Amino acid sequence: MNLVVALPGEVLPQEYFDVRYEVLRKPLGSPRGSELLSDDNTAIHAYISFYDKIVAVGRIQLIVGDGSVKDPVGSNCPAFELLSDGIKTVLTDDKGQPFASNLRPAVQVRQMGTLPEFQGKGFAAKILFALEEAAKQNWNARTGWLQARLAAIAFYKKCGWTSYGVEYEVNKVGAHRSMWKKL
């Protein structure tokens, strides 16, 4: 097993994007090319190769604004309200912990995927922890944020993430909950 972390601007192998397409876009019926995001060159990426085959991928990006995004597949990921300007309400997460007042620099995990035959082997957790560490070292990130598909929430909770807010639908993708973590 080989874990690779690629910093912003580093060239990624085509196989990285092939895995992203196979795991995250193809099951939704999305066309080739939808796995490419316009800000991929500014994100930190990580992947695991196993016997010279990339089997798991993920990325983390610095959040500018409130974290809302529109994907090429037409899905709209909502804002992380706590990162919006002017929020004065004290909110708590699912553990009853209040959100910190200084949440930035904040980062967002996106595009986590593992080929089905390699799931359950801990590869995604290794990628997630590597992305968190790289974000702390490169951007001094204080908090991490993500929009998790319902099936992935248990995985993120095992990795120290906490969900908050209500369940919502991401167009063309399915039900999600927002999650966060102090880094």
Q: What is the mean pLDDT of residues 17-42?
A: 94
Look at residue 7 and tell me whether its pLDDT is greater than 90.
yes
Q: What CATH number is associated with residue 66?
A: 3.40.630.30
What's residue 99's pLDDT? Answer: 63
Q: Is 78 exposed, middle or buried (0-12, 13-18, 19+ CB in 10 A)?
A: middle
Return d(Cα 71, Cα 178) in angstroms, integer.
17
120 lies in which domain range?
Answer: 2-182
Low-confidence winner among 11-20, 58-67, 85-94 (lowest mean pLDDT): 85-94
How many structural domains does the chain have? 1
Kindly report, residue by residue over 130-169, the tens digit of the pLDDT: 999 999 999 999 999 999 999 999 999 999 999 888 888 8
